[in-house]
Amino acid sequence: MAAEVAAQPVNGTATGSRARWKHMDTLLSRPGAYTDEDDFAPGSVPIGNIEQSRILVIGAGGLGCEILKNLALSGFKHIDVIDMDTIDFLFREKDVGKAKASVAAEFVMKRCPGCVITPYAGKIQDKDEDYYMQFNLVICGLDSIEARRWINATLVGMVDMENPDSLKPLIDGGTEGFKGQSRVIFPTMTSCIECQLDMHAPRAAVPLCTLATIPRQPQHCIEWAHIIKWEEERKDLVLDTDDPEHITWLYQKALGRAKEFKIEGVTYSMTQGVVKNIIPAIASTNAIVAASCCNEAFKIVTSAASFLGTPGENNYMLYTGDASIYTYTFEHQKKDDCPVCGNLPKDLFVNPESTLGELVEGLAERPEAQLKKPNLRTEEKTLYYSSPASLEESTRPNLKRKISEMLADGEEFAVSDPAFEINFRFIARYA
């Protein structure tokens, strides 16, 4: 391959021929209209930074694959990617069953020689702080809120004020249909994922009694088949939402129930959507959000232009494309009572006449909490533990007791959840 003349002179920090990077190097070798001399020295420094940075990408699905491609074509050379899933999609039949992370890494590396992408097929929770410490920046492209919260708490926890290298910018992207968002977090310095949790309120669950006795919607019939009927009739079989026989069984049960109540609209596709919680997704939205995340990464690493996440500046871009094109770019404020990056407990309004059980149930749905297996205690006593089983059993009677018996107005209590390594501090406020 002929590669003699680099477009722009670069010094020792950049390696090898730069001919293929002509476009990028031209831009990085000239001062920008929005840069100042102190922050940006055109030429070898930003180019060297790109070459030497190590980036971690979490997720190798629709968003993750785009992110890997974008990073490789932004000149990054050292990328790691984590994804626990195998390919179930029918895109390339020969890849079905392989780890998403490895297939994505191989595909991008083949197209972009010189870029090394190291895949890890597993969970982010398998890795410790030493692992995360190797990277300069982390980009998340996943559909799991839980994983986002975990990596966020981990990166915030890693910050050591004595060691500037311990601060790892976190860039997060997410999409649903024609909508999406990208956001940049400088752990401990700017609003974190946990501060922003209420921006993504969980869908309210349908009460069990509606499913059991008064279904009204086709979805209620499907949930009934899924949550109640399967347990009753196929208890010994683990439900596999990818098994068409299982979905068909649920579909037919739901259809039967719908007929009984004269409810219209149960379809196979809806059954699948409800049971698997399928979020509509399209390639173009993934492209927009992934590229926005990588553009921010590129700007952070090179200082070639201002980036989202500078403390006191915008850190969040919301995108909607279903009615014209609209972006809202703003600064989400850091919260002092954030359980992860703040130092104050959060107020939680409770009805003193309601039961502790209702509070525990509510924690799963409250936008600012979203804790599904909570363990609750005050400084003096244990209120309720979801696990282990022995503790659950001994604290279960408390669920029936009134809040006013268990928590004083203004009393602080802590909630932990095995999914996260942190304690959430709340103050009960009678409402």
**What's the number of CA atoms in the CB half-sphere (13 Å) around residue 204?**
3
Question: Residue 90, interface with another protein (CB under 8 A)?
Answer: yes
CB closer to another protein out of 55 and 422: 55
The 10 Å CB-count burial string (b at 16+, else e) for 18-51 is: bebbeebbeebbeeeeebeeeebebbbbbbbbbb
Closest to another protein by CB, 210 or 423: 210
Strand order in the sheet with 78-82: 116-120, 78-82, 54-58, 137-141, 170-176, 179-185, 316-320, 326-330
- Give the H/E segment covering residue 213: helix 208-213
| 420: contact with another protein by CB under 8 A | no
Instruction: Considering the complex, state which of residue 111 and residue 381 has its C-beta at the smaller distance from another protein.
Output: 111
Residue 166 vs 327, nearer CB to another protein: 327
User: What is d(CA 153, CA 132) in angstroms, rounded to the nearest whole number?
Assistant: 12
For another protein, the closer of residues 149 and 183 by Cβ is: 183
131 binds another protein (CB under 8 A): no
Binding mask 275-304 for another protein (x = CB under 8 A): ---xxxxxxxxxxxxxxx-xxx-xx-----
Closer CB to another protein, residue 81 or residue 414? 81
* Candidate residues 164, 323, 389, 400; the one interacting with another protein per rule CB under 8 A: 323
Q: Which of 115, 209, 294, 341 is catalytic?
A: 209
For another protein (CB under 8 A), the number of binding residues is 93
Site string for another protein, 362-401 (x = CB under 8 A): ----------------------------------------
Copy the structure tokens of residue 289.
């959000």
Contact 182, 317 (CB under 8 A): yes
To another protein, the closest distance from the beta carbon of 297 in angstroms equals 8
Could you say whether residue 153 binds another protein (CB under 8 A)?
A: no
**Pairing relationship of beta strands 137-141 and 116-120 according to DSSP bridges:** unpaired
8 A C-beta contact, residue 187 and residue 341:
yes
94 binds another protein (CB under 8 A): no
Q: Is 120 in the site for another protein (CB under 8 A)?
A: no
CB of 128 to another protein, least distance (A): 31
Q: Which is nearer to another protein, 62 or 119 (CB)?
A: 62
Among 11, 15, 16, 26, binds another protein (CB under 8 A): 26
Instruction: List the interface residues with another protein, window 33-52 (CB under 8 A).
Output: 33-34
Q: Choose one: 23-31, 116-124, 149-157, 416-424; the region binding another protein (CB under 8 A).
A: 23-31
* Dihedral pair phi/psi, residue 160, rounded to 5°: -120, 115
3-state secondary structure of 414: strand
Q: Nearest CA to 360 among 349, 352, 351, 372? A: 372
CB contact set of 183 (below 8 Å; sequence gap of 6+): 171, 172, 196, 308, 309, 315, 316, 317, 332
Structure tokens at 167: 């601060």
Beta-sheet pairing, 137-141 with 170-176: parallel
Between 161 and 283, name the residue whose CB sits nearer to another protein: 283
Q: How far is the CB of 396 from another protein (least distance, A)?
A: 24
DSSP string, 105-140: HHHHHHHSTT-EEEEE-S-GGG--HHHHHT-SEEEE
Tokens of 9: 């002179």
Question: How far is residue 159's CA from residue 181's CA, in Å, rounded to a whole number?
Answer: 25
> 53-72 mask for another protein (x: CB under 8 A)?
-------------x--xx--
Is 221 in the active site? no
The tokens of 184 are what?
A: 């940049």
Choosing from 41, 133, 325, 344, the residue that interacts with another protein (CB under 8 A) is 325
Tell me if 22 contacts another protein by CB under 8 A. yes
Site for another protein in 192-251 (CB under 8 A): 210, 214-217, 232-237, 244-245, 248-249, 251
Candidates 252, 310, 378, 404; binder of another protein (CB under 8 A) is: 252
**Which residues does the annotation mark as catalytic?**
209
